[in-house]
Amino acid sequence: NAGVTQTPKFRILKIGQSMTLQCTQDMNHNYMYWYRQDPGMGLKLIYYSVGAGITDKGEVPNGYNVSRSTTEDFPLRLELAAPSQTSVYFCASRDRDRVYEQYFGPGTRLTVT
């Protein structure tokens, strides 16, 4: 099992550009999450999904979009990048029946200048 993989690892965007952060898990997990971590802070939930075709907003969804067409993939889209979106982005997944085993990807470090 590769677990949760994220691409790219690093990215620099100019203001107004768009990009998609990829997240894939090979554990057949129902639940997937996107978090952002600002410097010196904990993680904040952007969007989550409880299964293919079902997504919902977290605490800080503005400026982002997601889709979940398959169980494995949960891409995060930034349409008009802003400096406030400079952060480290973590994708995570969890099996529906295993409450505490949330697996995190390695993160994507995004800088918007």
Partner 1 sequence: AQKITQTQPGMFVQEKEAVTLDCTYDTSDQSYGLFWYKQPSSGEMIFLIYQGSYDEQNATEGRYSLNFQKARKSANLVISASQLGDSAMYFCAMRENLNTGGFKTIFGAGTRLFVKA
Which residues of this protein are in contact with partner 1, per CB under 8 A? 30-31, 33, 35, 40-45, 48, 50, 54, 56, 58, 88, 90, 92, 94, 96, 99-102, 104, 106-107, 109
Q: Hey, which residues does 85 pair with through a beta bridge?
A: none
- For residues 42 and 97, the answer to whether their CB atoms sit within 8 Å is no
Other beta carbons within 10 angstroms of residue 47's beta carbon come to 23
* Pick 77 or 104: Cβ nearer partner 1: 104
Could you tell me the smallest distance in angstroms from the CB atom of residue 104 to partner 1? 4
* Pick 20 or 102: Cβ nearer partner 1: 102
Could you tell me the smallest distance in angstroms from the CB atom of residue 91 to partner 1? 11
Could you tell me the smallest distance in angstroms from the CB atom of residue 110 to partner 1? 13
Please report which residue ranges of the chain form alpha helices under DSSP H: none
Residue 10, CA distances (Å) to 21, 48, 52, 54 in order: 10, 22, 27, 28
